[in-house]
């Protein structure tokens, strides 16, 4: 009997490892996230009130709690903010946390989970942009950070059709942002850095995980976004 139970435990572990490895593949679509993504940066300011609000998340570069309070009040985020969240504490500590207002990712196969992972990476990427080598890209091409991050959303999660603002001269704009995306990707080369354990801790829940994400993952290469006609 003990042998059967041991076998069940081994099978469960394999399934969980496959699940977490699949989530790692989602994260590692973006080489910047692969190197810099830190699960400890992610906070849920609304806690049990996390839901599908018009603001999905935000990342503020400030250590001033009053600035943050003003920001949230102007956007009505203060109405769902939970004092149990670690967000304000991390602001005071100067950790520049990432705030996510959506519900946490569940199993990785639930409807909407890919959108949630994309939101997490979008906001985390704003913190990545604090790195000098990425600031240099923005300054070099004279581009807007938010728009650049949206182009990266579209590059690494093309199936989600990320929103790209309209430009007065779209062909020229797409060429400039395309060059910036390519330079962002070229910053990393082929160096690999596994983050499986961090991803495990971040996405772990009490519910039994099913193995494998139910959708094949594409190998993203080259800049794929084009202006809509």
Q: How far apart are CA 71 and CA 57, in angstroms?
A: 12
Question: Which tokens belong to 16?
Answer: 């969980």
**pLDDT for the residue numbered 18:** 55
d(CA 27, CA 48): 25
What are phi and psi for residue 143, nearest 5 degrees? -110, 165
Task: Judge if 96 and 183 occupy the same domain.
Answer: no
Task: Identify the weakest region by mean pLDDT among 64-68, 161-165, 181-185, 223-227.
Answer: 223-227
Task: Assess whether 140 and 183 both reside in one domain.
Answer: yes
If asked whether residues 50 and 129 sit together in one domain, one would say no
**Statement to judge: residues 56 and 126 lie in one domain:** no
Residue linked to tokens 């193995």: 211
CB 27 within 8 A of CB 37: yes
pTM: 0.71
- For residue 228, tell me if it sits in a domain: no
Has residue 64 been placed in a domain? yes
Which tokens sit at 201?
Answer: 């801790």
My answer on whether 56 and 29 are in the same domain is: no
Last residue of a domain, one of 84, 103, 122: 103
The whole-number pLDDT of residue 159 equals 87
* pLDDT digit string, tens, across residues 4-15: 565 555 545 544
Whether 119 has a pLDDT exceeding 70, the answer reads yes
- Output the pLDDT for position 212: 30
Q: Are residues 67 and 122 in the same domain?
A: no
Nearest to 65 by CA among 49, 47, 45: 45
Domain identity same for 199 and 123: yes
- Residue where one domain finishes, among candidates 78, 103, 128: 103
207: exposed, middle or buried (C-beta count within 10 Å: 0-12, 13-18, 19+)? Answer: exposed
What's the domain range around 143? 21-36+113-222
d(CA 194, CA 215): 21
Same domain, residue pair 89 and 117: no
pLDDT digits (tens, 9 = 90+) for 27-86: 788 888 888 888 888 899 999 899 889 999 999 999 999 999 999 999 999 999 998 899
Of 152, 170, 154, 174, give the one whose Cα is nearest residue 162: 154
- What is the enclosing helix (H) or strand (E) of 65? helix 65-74
Q: Which strands make up the sheet holding 98-100, listed edge to edge?
A: 42-43, 98-100, 57-59
pLDDT tens track for 140-157: 999 999 999 999 999 999
- Number of domains the chain contains: 2
Are 32 and 188 spatial neighbours (Cβ–Cβ below 8 Å)? yes
9 is a domain residue: no
Rounded to whole angstroms, the Cα distance separating 131 from 220 reads 23
* Secondary structure element (H or E) that encloses residue 31, with its range: helix 31-36
- Say whether both 98 and 140 belong to one domain: no
Are residue 59 and residue 125 in the same domain, yes or no? Answer: no
Q: Which residue's entry shows tokens 């139910």?
A: 214
Whole-angstrom distance, CA of residue 116 vs CA of residue 106: 10
**How many Cβ atoms sit within 10 Å of the Cβ of residue 159?**
9
CA separation (Å) from 78 to 49, 83, 117? Answer: 12, 10, 24
């Amino acid at each position: 009997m003990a042998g059967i139970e041991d076998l069940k435990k081994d099978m469960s572990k394999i399934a969980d490892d496959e699940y977490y490895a699949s989530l790692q593949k989602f994260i590692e679509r973006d080489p910047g996230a692969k190197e810099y993504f830190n699960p400890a940066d992610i906070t849920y300011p609304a806690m049990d009130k996390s839901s599908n609000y018009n603001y999905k998340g935000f990342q503020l570069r400030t250590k001033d709690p009053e600035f943050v309070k003003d920001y949230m009040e102007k956007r009505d985020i203060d109405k769902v903010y939970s004092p149990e969240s670690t967000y304000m504490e991390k602001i005071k500590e100067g950790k520049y946390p990432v705030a996510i207002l959506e519900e946490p990712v569940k199993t990785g196969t639930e409807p909407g989970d890919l959108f949630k992972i994309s939101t997490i990476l979008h906001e985390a990427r704003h913190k990545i942009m604090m790195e000098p080598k990425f600031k240099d890209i923005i300054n070099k091409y004279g581009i807007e950070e938010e728009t650049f991050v949206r182009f990266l959303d579209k590059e690494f999660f093309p199936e989600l059709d990320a929103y790209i603002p309209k430009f007065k001269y779209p062909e020229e704009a797409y060429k400039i942002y395309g060059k910036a995306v390519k330079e962002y990707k070229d910053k990393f080369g082929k160096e690999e850095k596994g983050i499986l354990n961090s991803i495990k801790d971040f996405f772990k829940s009490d519910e039994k995980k099913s193995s494998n994400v139910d959708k094949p993952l594409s190998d993203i290469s080259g800049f794929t976004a084009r202006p809509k006609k």
